[in-house]
C-alpha cells in the first residue's frame, strides 16, 4: 500500500481512521512505515484504540487576485460543494481543481490523487479559514450563552466542547442544526450535507491542534536549554512530529542533538541527546 493510497483511504473516512483498520487493508509493515511520516499523519489514542489523523500544510489562498503563491487557487464554496455560481456565471474564484497551478501545489504535497470531496475533508480539519472556531466563552459560565456577550450574533460556534470529546447531557447545544450553529455555519457557506461529518472534523482539528501545541512546548523547552525539563520527556518521545520548517529550525547550531543524528527526525530516546546542550 502506497502513502497516497493510505492518505486517500483516510480522507475518504472523514479524515481519520483506526490504525487496525488501515492494517487490515494493507501490509502491517507498510502501514506502520507510512503513518510514521509526521508531516502527513498524526497518531493518537481514542477509545483505547490507536487512530491516525490526516495532516497537511496546504491551504486555500485567501486573496481575490494572486499572481502566484504556494496555496490552492480555488473557490472556498466550490471546495465545500456549496457555490451557487460557476466561473462563467459570476464567481470570481477558480473552480478548476486541475489547473496547472493547483496540480503543481497538490503534487508538491502528495495530494494529487484526492478527489474534491476527499480534499475537502482534509482541508476542513487543517485550514482554519474554512470553519468557524468553537466559542470558548460560550463553553464557560452559566446562562444560555455562558460568558459570551455576543449571544446569538456571535460569529464563533456555540456548540458544547464536551459533547465533541464524548458523551454529554448539559444544557449547551449538542446539535449543529441548532439555531446559532446553523446560522453561523451557513454564513460561512458550509452546506448541510457536511453537518453529519462536523463532529468528527472538529475532533480531528482538536487532535491536530494539541499535536502542534505539544510540539511548540517541546521546542520551547529545548530552545531555553532546559535539559532537566527535556529529561522528563518519555523515552519514546517521537521527534518525527516535526514539519519541514521545524526541521530546518532544528538544523541550526542551537540543536546539536539533531545534528548528531544526521538530521534524521525519528524516535530518539532521551539518553541519545541528554547532556548535549
Average pLDDT value for residue range 183-205: 95
228 pLDDT higher than 80 = no
What are the domain boundaries of the chain? 1-127
The percentage of residues in the chain with a pLDDT greater than 70, rounded to a whole number, is: 75
Predicted local distance difference test score (pLDDT) of residue 87: 66
d(CA 46, CA 241): 19
Average pLDDT value for residue range 231-256: 41
- Report yes or no: 144 and 34 within 8 Å, Cβ to Cβ: no
Q: Cell numbers at residue 65, please? A: 487576485
H or E segment to which residue 17 belongs: strand 16-18
d(CA 121, CA 64): 23
Q: Cell numbers at residue 200, please? A: 468528527
Categorize the per-residue pLDDT at 207 as very low, low, confident or very high, splitting at 50, 70 and 90: very high
Residue 46 CA: distances (Å) to CA of 49, 201, 249: 5, 14, 31
- Residue-wise pLDDT for 150-185, tens only, equals 999 999 999 999 999 888 989 999 999 999 999 999
Predicted local distance difference test score (pLDDT) of residue 138: 97
Across 16-30, 105-119, 232-246, the highest mean pLDDT is recorded for 105-119
Predicted local distance difference test score (pLDDT) of residue 165: 85
H or E segment to which residue 51 belongs: strand 49-54
Categorize the per-residue pLDDT at 269 as very low, low, confident or very high, splitting at 50, 70 and 90: very low
d(CA 137, CA 135): 6
- 197 Cβ contact partners less than 8 Å away, ≥ 6 residues apart: 14, 121
Categorize the per-residue pLDDT at 223 as very low, low, confident or very high, splitting at 50, 70 and 90: low
Nearest 5°: the CA angle 10, 163, 137 is 115
Predicted local distance difference test score (pLDDT) of residue 17: 96
d(CA 271, CA 234): 11
Predicted local distance difference test score (pLDDT) of residue 231: 45
Predicted local distance difference test score (pLDDT) of residue 214: 59
Categorize the per-residue pLDDT at 257 as very low, low, confident or very high, splitting at 50, 70 and 90: very low
Counting beta carbons within 10 angstroms of the beta carbon of residue 177, is it exposed (0 to 12), middle (13 to 18) or buried (19 or more)?
Answer: exposed
> Considering only 60-74, 80-94, 189-203, which range has the smallest mean pLDDT?
80-94
Amino acid at each position: 500500500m502506497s502513502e497516497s493510497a493510505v492518505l486517500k483511504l483516510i480522507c475518504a473516512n472523514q479524515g481519520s481512521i483506526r490504525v487496525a483498520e488501515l492494517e487490515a487493508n494493507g501490509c502491517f509493515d507498510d502501514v506502520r512505515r507510512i503513518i510514521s511520516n509526521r508531516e502527513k499523519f498524526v497518531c493518537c489514542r481514542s477509545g483505547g484504540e490507536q487512530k491516525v489523523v490526516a495532516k497537511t500544510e496546504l491551504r486555500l489562498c485567501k486573496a481575490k487576485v494572486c499572481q502566484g503563491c504556494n496555496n490552492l487557487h480555488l473557490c472556498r464554496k466550490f471546495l465545500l460543494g456549496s457555490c451557487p455560481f460557476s466561473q462563467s456565471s459570476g464567481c470570481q474564484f477558480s473552480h478548476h481543481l486541475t489547473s496547472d497551478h493547483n496540480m503543481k501545489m497538490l503534487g508538491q504535497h502528495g495530494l494529487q490523487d484526492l478527489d474534491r470531496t476527499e480534499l475537502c475533508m482534509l482541508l476542513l480539519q487543517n485550514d482554519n479559514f474554512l470553519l468557524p472556531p468553537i466559542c470558548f466563552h460560550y463553553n464557560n459560565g452559566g446562562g444560555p450563552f455562558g460568558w459570551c456577550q455576543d449571544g446569538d450574533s456571535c460569529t464563533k460556534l456555540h456548540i458544547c466542547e464536551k459533547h465533541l470529546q464524548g458523551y454529554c447531557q448539559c444544557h449547551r447545544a449538542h446539535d449543529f442544526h441548532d439555531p446559532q450553529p446553523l446560522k453561523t455555519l451557513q454564513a460561512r457557506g458550509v452546506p448541510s450535507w457536511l453537518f453529519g461529518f462536523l463532529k468528527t472534523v472538529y475532533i480531528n482539528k482538536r487532535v491536530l491542534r494539541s499535536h502542534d501545541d505539544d510540539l511548540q512546548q517541546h521546542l520551547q523547552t529545548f530552545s531555553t536549554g532546559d535539559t532537566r525539563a527535556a529529561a522528563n520527556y518519555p523515552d519514546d518521545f517521537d521527534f518525527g512530529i516535526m514539519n519541514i520548517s521545524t526541521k530546518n529550525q532544528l538544523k541550526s547550531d542551537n540543536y546539536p542533538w539533531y545534528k548528531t543524528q544526521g538530521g534524521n527526525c525519528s524516535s530518539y530516546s532521551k539518553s541519545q541527546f541528554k547532556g548535549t546542550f
